[in-house]
Structure 1
Protein backbone atom coordinates (compact mmCIF):
# COMPACT_ATOMS: atom_id res chain seq x y z
CA UNK A 1 0.00 0.00 0.00
CA UNK A 2 1.46 3.31 -1.06
CA UNK A 3 0.65 6.53 0.83
CA UNK A 4 0.71 9.68 -1.24
CA UNK A 5 2.89 12.72 -0.53
CA UNK A 6 -0.17 15.00 -0.23
CA UNK A 7 -1.68 12.75 2.47
CA UNK A 8 1.49 12.77 4.60
CA UNK A 9 1.86 16.52 4.10
CA UNK A 10 -1.74 17.08 5.27
CA UNK A 11 -1.24 14.91 8.37
CA UNK A 12 1.95 16.80 9.30
CA UNK A 13 0.25 20.19 8.84
CA UNK A 14 -2.73 19.08 10.95
CA UNK A 15 -0.37 17.84 13.70
CA UNK A 16 1.50 21.14 13.75
CA UNK A 17 -1.75 23.14 13.90
CA UNK A 18 -3.02 21.02 16.79
CA UNK A 19 0.26 21.57 18.64
CA UNK A 20 0.26 25.33 18.02
CA UNK A 21 -3.38 25.87 18.98
CA UNK A 22 -3.05 24.24 22.40
CA UNK A 23 -4.99 26.42 24.81
CA UNK A 24 -3.04 28.03 27.63
CA UNK A 25 -4.52 30.67 29.89
CA UNK A 26 -2.59 33.76 30.82
CA UNK A 27 -3.21 35.88 33.87
CA UNK A 28 -2.71 39.63 33.81
CA UNK A 29 -3.10 41.97 36.76
CA UNK A 30 -5.21 45.01 35.95
CA UNK A 31 -5.49 46.80 39.31
CA UNK A 32 -5.06 46.48 43.07
CA UNK A 33 -6.79 48.40 45.85
CA UNK A 34 -5.98 48.22 49.55
CA UNK A 35 -8.30 49.85 52.07
CA UNK A 36 -7.98 50.17 55.81
CA UNK A 37 -11.18 50.69 57.80
CA UNK A 38 -9.18 51.34 60.98
CA UNK A 39 -5.81 53.08 60.42
CA UNK A 40 -5.00 52.68 64.12
CA UNK A 41 -5.10 48.91 63.59
CA UNK A 42 -3.55 48.45 60.12
CA UNK A 43 -1.99 50.73 57.52
CA UNK A 44 -0.95 49.84 53.98
CA UNK A 45 2.50 51.30 53.39
CA UNK A 46 2.76 49.73 49.93
CA UNK A 47 -0.11 48.67 47.69
CA UNK A 48 0.97 48.76 44.09
CA UNK A 49 0.80 47.14 40.73
CA UNK A 50 4.12 47.71 39.00
CA UNK A 51 4.32 47.41 35.24
CA UNK A 52 7.93 46.79 34.20
CA UNK A 53 6.99 46.31 30.54
CA UNK A 54 3.99 45.14 28.54
CA UNK A 55 4.25 41.54 29.62
CA UNK A 56 5.87 41.72 33.06
CA UNK A 57 3.79 43.06 35.95
CA UNK A 58 3.91 42.34 39.63
CA UNK A 59 1.94 43.12 42.77
CA UNK A 60 3.47 44.27 46.06
CA UNK A 61 1.59 44.80 49.33
CA UNK A 62 3.07 45.78 52.68
CA UNK A 63 0.75 46.26 55.62
CA UNK A 64 1.78 47.35 59.08
CA UNK A 65 -0.14 46.03 62.07
CA UNK A 66 -0.27 48.30 65.11
CA UNK A 67 -2.27 46.45 67.78
CA UNK A 68 -0.09 43.46 68.51
CA UNK A 69 -0.20 40.63 69.26
CA UNK A 70 -3.01 39.50 66.96
CA UNK A 71 -4.17 36.10 68.14
CA UNK A 72 -7.73 36.13 66.77
CA UNK A 73 -7.86 36.78 63.03
CA UNK A 74 -10.42 35.81 60.41
CA UNK A 75 -10.05 36.12 56.66
CA UNK A 76 -12.85 36.16 54.12
CA UNK A 77 -11.87 35.34 50.54
CA UNK A 78 -14.31 36.07 47.74
CA UNK A 79 -13.95 35.58 44.01
CA UNK A 80 -16.03 37.62 41.58
CA UNK A 81 -16.35 37.43 37.80
CA UNK A 82 -17.28 40.42 35.68
CA UNK A 83 -20.66 39.87 34.02
CA UNK A 84 -22.54 43.20 33.83
CA UNK A 85 -20.67 44.20 36.97
CA UNK A 86 -18.79 41.88 39.31
CA UNK A 87 -20.91 38.90 40.37
CA UNK A 88 -19.97 36.20 42.92
CA UNK A 89 -18.08 33.33 41.28
CA UNK A 90 -17.31 29.95 42.86
CA UNK A 91 -15.86 30.95 46.23
CA UNK A 92 -16.83 33.03 49.23
CA UNK A 93 -15.22 31.42 52.27
CA UNK A 94 -14.24 32.61 55.73
CA UNK A 95 -11.70 30.87 57.95
CA UNK A 96 -10.02 31.39 61.27
CA UNK A 97 -6.58 32.48 60.01
CA UNK A 98 -4.69 31.25 63.08
CA UNK A 99 -6.28 27.80 62.95
CA UNK A 100 -5.82 27.57 59.18
CA UNK A 101 -2.10 28.34 59.43
CA UNK A 102 -1.72 25.49 61.94
CA UNK A 103 -3.81 22.95 60.00
CA UNK A 104 -3.85 23.90 56.32
CA UNK A 105 -5.68 20.72 55.38
CA UNK A 106 -8.75 22.08 57.15
CA UNK A 107 -9.96 23.93 54.04
CA UNK A 108 -8.73 22.94 50.57
CA UNK A 109 -10.27 25.98 48.84
CA UNK A 110 -8.49 28.43 51.14
CA UNK A 111 -5.28 26.43 50.82
CA UNK A 112 -5.45 26.72 47.01
CA UNK A 113 -6.05 30.49 47.20
CA UNK A 114 -3.42 30.93 49.97
CA UNK A 115 -0.84 29.08 47.87
CA UNK A 116 -1.33 31.64 45.08
CA UNK A 117 0.76 34.15 47.04
CA UNK A 118 2.53 32.05 49.70
CA UNK A 119 5.90 31.92 47.94
CA UNK A 120 6.08 35.72 47.85
CA UNK A 121 4.74 36.37 51.34
CA UNK A 122 6.20 36.53 54.84
CA UNK A 123 3.11 34.74 56.26
CA UNK A 124 4.79 31.37 56.55
CA UNK A 125 4.61 30.89 60.30
CA UNK A 126 2.39 27.94 61.12
CA UNK A 127 0.79 29.87 63.97
CA UNK A 128 -0.31 33.19 65.39
CA UNK A 129 0.48 35.87 66.54
CA UNK A 130 1.19 37.76 63.36
CA UNK A 131 4.28 39.92 62.86
CA UNK A 132 4.17 43.71 62.76
CA UNK A 133 4.40 43.57 58.96
CA UNK A 134 2.50 41.35 56.56
CA UNK A 135 3.91 41.51 53.04
CA UNK A 136 3.46 40.08 49.59
CA UNK A 137 6.49 41.12 47.57
CA UNK A 138 6.72 41.10 43.77
CA UNK A 139 4.05 38.51 43.04
CA UNK A 140 4.22 37.96 39.27
CA UNK A 141 1.76 36.22 37.03
CA UNK A 142 4.17 33.40 36.05
CA UNK A 143 3.21 31.23 39.02
CA UNK A 144 -0.46 32.15 38.71
CA UNK A 145 -0.52 31.07 35.06
CA UNK A 146 0.41 27.53 36.11
CA UNK A 147 -2.13 27.49 38.96
CA UNK A 148 -4.99 28.71 36.74
CA UNK A 149 -4.27 26.37 33.82
CA UNK A 150 -2.84 23.11 35.18
CA UNK A 151 -3.98 22.92 38.81
CA UNK A 152 -7.50 24.33 38.51
CA UNK A 153 -8.54 25.48 35.02
CA UNK A 154 -10.42 28.77 35.19
CA UNK A 155 -12.58 30.15 32.35
CA UNK A 156 -11.53 33.31 30.55
CA UNK A 157 -12.78 36.63 31.86
CA UNK A 158 -12.22 39.51 34.24
CA UNK A 159 -11.94 38.54 37.90
CA UNK A 160 -11.83 40.25 41.27
CA UNK A 161 -10.24 38.59 44.31
CA UNK A 162 -11.26 40.20 47.60
CA UNK A 163 -9.40 39.45 50.84
CA UNK A 164 -11.14 40.90 53.91
CA UNK A 165 -9.39 40.83 57.30
CA UNK A 166 -11.19 40.72 60.64
CA UNK A 167 -9.91 40.59 64.19
CA UNK A 168 -12.23 39.75 67.08
CA UNK A 169 -15.11 39.83 64.53
CA UNK A 170 -14.39 43.49 63.64
CA UNK A 171 -13.68 44.35 59.99
CA UNK A 172 -10.29 46.09 59.64
CA UNK A 173 -9.12 46.03 56.02
CA UNK A 174 -9.40 44.57 52.54
CA UNK A 175 -7.25 43.96 49.51
CA UNK A 176 -8.89 43.78 46.09
CA UNK A 177 -6.91 42.30 43.21
CA UNK A 178 -8.34 42.77 39.73
CA UNK A 179 -7.11 40.46 36.98
CA UNK A 180 -7.90 39.19 33.52
CA UNK A 181 -7.57 35.58 32.43
CA UNK A 182 -7.39 35.11 28.67
Structure 2
Protein backbone atom coordinates (compact mmCIF):
# COMPACT_ATOMS: atom_id res chain seq x y z
CA UNK A 1 0.00 0.00 0.00
CA UNK A 2 2.76 2.47 0.84
CA UNK A 3 4.84 1.60 -2.21
CA UNK A 4 2.57 3.33 -4.80
CA UNK A 5 2.19 6.34 -2.51
CA UNK A 6 5.98 6.55 -2.08
CA UNK A 7 6.52 6.30 -5.84
CA UNK A 8 4.03 9.12 -6.46
CA UNK A 9 5.82 11.34 -3.92
CA UNK A 10 9.23 10.62 -5.45
CA UNK A 11 8.03 11.31 -9.00
CA UNK A 12 6.20 14.54 -8.15
CA UNK A 13 9.13 15.69 -6.02
CA UNK A 14 11.54 15.06 -8.89
CA UNK A 15 9.34 16.95 -11.35
CA UNK A 16 8.93 19.97 -9.10
CA UNK A 17 12.63 20.40 -8.27
CA UNK A 18 14.09 23.72 -9.36
CA UNK A 19 16.97 23.41 -11.82
CA UNK A 20 20.07 25.56 -11.69
CA UNK A 21 19.29 28.87 -13.38
CA UNK A 22 19.88 32.61 -13.63
CA UNK A 23 17.91 34.52 -11.00
CA UNK A 24 18.99 38.12 -11.46
CA UNK A 25 20.88 40.51 -13.72
CA UNK A 26 22.14 44.03 -13.16
CA UNK A 27 24.10 46.09 -15.69
CA UNK A 28 25.83 49.22 -14.43
CA UNK A 29 27.35 51.89 -16.64
CA UNK A 30 30.44 53.50 -15.14
CA UNK A 31 31.30 55.64 -18.20
CA UNK A 32 28.20 56.62 -20.23
CA UNK A 33 30.37 58.17 -22.95
CA UNK A 34 31.84 54.75 -23.68
CA UNK A 35 29.01 52.21 -23.16
CA UNK A 36 25.24 52.10 -22.77
CA UNK A 37 22.92 49.13 -22.52
CA UNK A 38 20.02 48.87 -24.94
CA UNK A 39 19.11 45.52 -23.37
CA UNK A 40 19.95 43.98 -20.01
CA UNK A 41 17.36 41.45 -18.92
CA UNK A 42 16.49 37.85 -18.16
CA UNK A 43 13.87 36.35 -20.43
CA UNK A 44 11.71 33.29 -19.82
CA UNK A 45 12.32 30.94 -22.76
CA UNK A 46 10.20 28.07 -21.48
CA UNK A 47 9.04 26.42 -18.30
CA UNK A 48 11.89 26.90 -15.85
CA UNK A 49 14.29 28.03 -18.62
CA UNK A 50 15.71 31.51 -18.18
CA UNK A 51 17.80 33.17 -20.90
CA UNK A 52 20.26 35.99 -20.29
CA UNK A 53 20.20 38.85 -22.82
CA UNK A 54 22.63 41.76 -22.88
CA UNK A 55 23.23 44.28 -25.65
CA UNK A 56 25.97 46.81 -24.86
CA UNK A 57 26.40 49.65 -27.32
CA UNK A 58 29.97 50.84 -27.67
CA UNK A 59 30.38 54.49 -28.66
CA UNK A 60 34.17 54.71 -28.77
CA UNK A 61 36.23 52.18 -30.60
CA UNK A 62 37.86 50.13 -31.75
CA UNK A 63 38.64 48.42 -28.47
CA UNK A 64 42.30 47.36 -28.64
CA UNK A 65 43.17 46.89 -24.99
CA UNK A 66 40.80 45.66 -22.33
CA UNK A 67 41.09 44.47 -18.80
CA UNK A 68 38.41 42.30 -17.17
CA UNK A 69 37.82 41.47 -13.52
CA UNK A 70 35.83 38.32 -12.68
CA UNK A 71 34.59 37.90 -9.12
CA UNK A 72 32.48 35.12 -7.68
CA UNK A 73 30.34 35.74 -4.60
CA UNK A 74 28.21 33.35 -2.54
CA UNK A 75 25.13 34.43 -0.62
CA UNK A 76 25.58 34.16 3.16
CA UNK A 77 23.45 36.94 4.70
CA UNK A 78 24.29 39.04 1.65
CA UNK A 79 26.80 38.29 -1.08
CA UNK A 80 30.34 37.60 0.17
CA UNK A 81 33.51 36.94 -1.86
CA UNK A 82 33.87 33.25 -2.67
CA UNK A 83 36.77 31.45 -4.31
CA UNK A 84 37.64 33.69 -7.27
CA UNK A 85 38.62 37.29 -7.88
CA UNK A 86 40.87 37.61 -10.91
CA UNK A 87 41.85 40.44 -13.26
CA UNK A 88 43.33 39.70 -16.67
CA UNK A 89 44.03 41.03 -20.15
CA UNK A 90 40.89 40.25 -22.17
CA UNK A 91 42.55 40.68 -25.59
CA UNK A 92 45.34 38.26 -24.64
CA UNK A 93 42.81 35.66 -23.43
CA UNK A 94 40.79 35.86 -26.66
CA UNK A 95 43.93 35.70 -28.83
CA UNK A 96 45.22 32.47 -27.28
CA UNK A 97 42.77 29.62 -27.79
CA UNK A 98 45.06 27.06 -26.16
CA UNK A 99 44.72 28.69 -22.73
CA UNK A 100 44.95 26.25 -19.81
CA UNK A 101 41.82 25.47 -17.81
CA UNK A 102 40.99 28.34 -15.48
CA UNK A 103 37.99 30.21 -14.10
CA UNK A 104 38.31 32.94 -16.75
CA UNK A 105 38.52 30.38 -19.57
CA UNK A 106 35.41 28.55 -18.30
CA UNK A 107 33.39 31.80 -18.16
CA UNK A 108 34.45 33.07 -21.59
CA UNK A 109 34.01 29.68 -23.26
CA UNK A 110 30.40 29.78 -22.06
CA UNK A 111 29.93 33.39 -23.20
CA UNK A 112 31.45 32.84 -26.64
CA UNK A 113 28.79 30.22 -27.52
CA UNK A 114 25.90 32.69 -27.24
CA UNK A 115 27.57 35.99 -28.04
CA UNK A 116 29.58 37.86 -30.61
CA UNK A 117 32.61 37.93 -28.25
CA UNK A 118 34.25 35.01 -30.02
CA UNK A 119 37.26 36.64 -31.67
CA UNK A 120 40.39 38.49 -30.67
CA UNK A 121 40.80 42.26 -30.42
CA UNK A 122 40.12 44.80 -31.86
CA UNK A 123 36.40 45.04 -31.20
CA UNK A 124 34.62 47.74 -33.18
CA UNK A 125 31.04 46.57 -32.68
CA UNK A 126 28.42 46.22 -29.96
CA UNK A 127 28.65 43.36 -27.46
CA UNK A 128 25.64 41.06 -27.67
CA UNK A 129 24.75 38.02 -25.55
CA UNK A 130 21.49 36.42 -26.63
CA UNK A 131 19.46 33.71 -24.85
CA UNK A 132 22.32 32.33 -22.75
CA UNK A 133 20.84 29.58 -20.57
CA UNK A 134 22.75 28.43 -17.48
CA UNK A 135 23.54 24.73 -17.52
CA UNK A 136 25.16 22.88 -14.59
CA UNK A 137 27.67 21.24 -16.96
CA UNK A 138 29.26 24.67 -17.51
CA UNK A 139 30.86 24.24 -14.09
CA UNK A 140 31.61 20.52 -14.28
CA UNK A 141 35.33 21.30 -13.75
CA UNK A 142 34.43 23.70 -10.96
CA UNK A 143 32.01 21.88 -8.69
CA UNK A 144 30.12 24.39 -6.60
CA UNK A 145 27.85 23.37 -3.73
CA UNK A 146 24.13 24.16 -3.79
CA UNK A 147 23.52 27.85 -3.15
CA UNK A 148 23.00 31.31 -4.55
CA UNK A 149 25.96 32.89 -6.32
CA UNK A 150 26.78 36.18 -8.00
CA UNK A 151 29.23 36.49 -10.86
CA UNK A 152 30.48 40.05 -11.28
CA UNK A 153 32.17 41.01 -14.54
CA UNK A 154 33.88 44.42 -14.65
CA UNK A 155 35.49 45.74 -17.82
CA UNK A 156 38.09 48.46 -18.26
CA UNK A 157 39.94 50.06 -21.09
CA UNK A 158 42.75 52.61 -20.88
CA UNK A 159 42.98 51.71 -17.15
CA UNK A 160 39.48 53.06 -16.39
CA UNK A 161 36.54 50.87 -15.40
CA UNK A 162 33.75 51.30 -17.94
CA UNK A 163 31.02 48.84 -16.95
CA UNK A 164 29.95 46.23 -14.42
CA UNK A 165 27.57 43.31 -14.90
CA UNK A 166 26.27 41.27 -11.98
CA UNK A 167 24.64 37.92 -12.73
CA UNK A 168 22.89 36.01 -9.95
CA UNK A 169 22.80 32.22 -10.30
CA UNK A 170 21.00 29.56 -8.31
CA UNK A 171 22.88 26.25 -8.30
CA UNK A 172 21.11 23.08 -7.23
CA UNK A 173 23.13 19.88 -6.91
CA UNK A 174 21.57 16.64 -8.07
TM-score (norm 2): 0.83
Matched residue of 1:115: which SS?
Answer: helix
Q: How does 1:86-101 map to 2 (within 5 A)?
A: 86-101=79-94
Match of 1:113 among 107, 112, 122: 107
Structure with greater Cα Rg: 1
- 3-state SS of 2:124 partner: coil
Unaligned 5+ residue runs, structure 2? 1-9
CA RMSD of aligned residues (A): 2.2
Residues 108-166 of structure 1: per-residue CA shift (max 9 Å, x gap)? 221011122220010111x211132111100012xx22223x33321000000000000
107, 113, 122: which is aligned to 2:116? Answer: 122
Which residue pairs with 2:149 in the alignment?
Answer: 159
- Number of positions where the alignment pairs a residue of Structure 1 with one of Structure 2: 158
In 2, are the aligned partners of 1:25 and 1:145 still within 8 Å (CA)?
A: no
Unaligned runs of 5+ in 1: 1-16
Structure 1 residue 25 displacement after superposition: 9.1
Distance 1:140 1:52 in 2: 9
1:107 & 1:156 partners in 2: Cα distance?
23
Q: Which has the higher helix share?
A: 1
User: 1:87 is paired with a residue of what secondary structure?
Assistant: strand
Normalization by structure 1: what TM-score?
Answer: 0.80
**Corresponding residue for 1:9?**
none
Deviating beyond 6 angstroms after TM superposition, the runs of 4 or more aligned structure 1 residues are none
Does 2:25 align with 1:35?
no
Task: Please name the residue that 1:146 is paired with.
Answer: 137
